[in-house]
Amino acid sequence: MTANNKTVAQRIVGFLERREITHVSGLCGHTNMAVLAAVAESPIAFVKGLHE
C-alpha cells in the first residue's frame, strides 16, 4: 500500500513502528477499532486493559 492510500490508523502504527515500539496497551472498543486492526497487521503487540 502506498503512503497516499494508508488510513490514519495505519499511519499511526507506522509511526510507532519507526520508533521501535514493541507493545501498546489500551481498551478495546468501537472508537479505536481501526487502530486495533492496524496493530493486528503489525509486529506490535497489543496489551488489553480491563475495566469494570
Q: How far apart are CA 23 and CA 49, in angstroms?
A: 13
Q: How far is CA 46 from CA 1, 4, 5, 7, 13, in A?
A: 23, 26, 24, 19, 11
Using one digit for the tens of pLDDT, what is the confidence trace for 25-46? 999 889 999 999 999 999 999 9
Q: Is the pTM of this model over 0.75?
A: yes
**What pairs with residue 26 in β-bridges?**
48
Q: Where do runs of H (alpha helix) occur along the chain? A: 8-18, 33-40
Tell me what the pLDDT averaged over the chain comes to. Answer: 92
* Count of the separate structural domains present in the chain: 1
Containing structural domain, residue 17: 3-48
Q: How far apart are CA 50 and CA 52, in angstroms?
A: 7
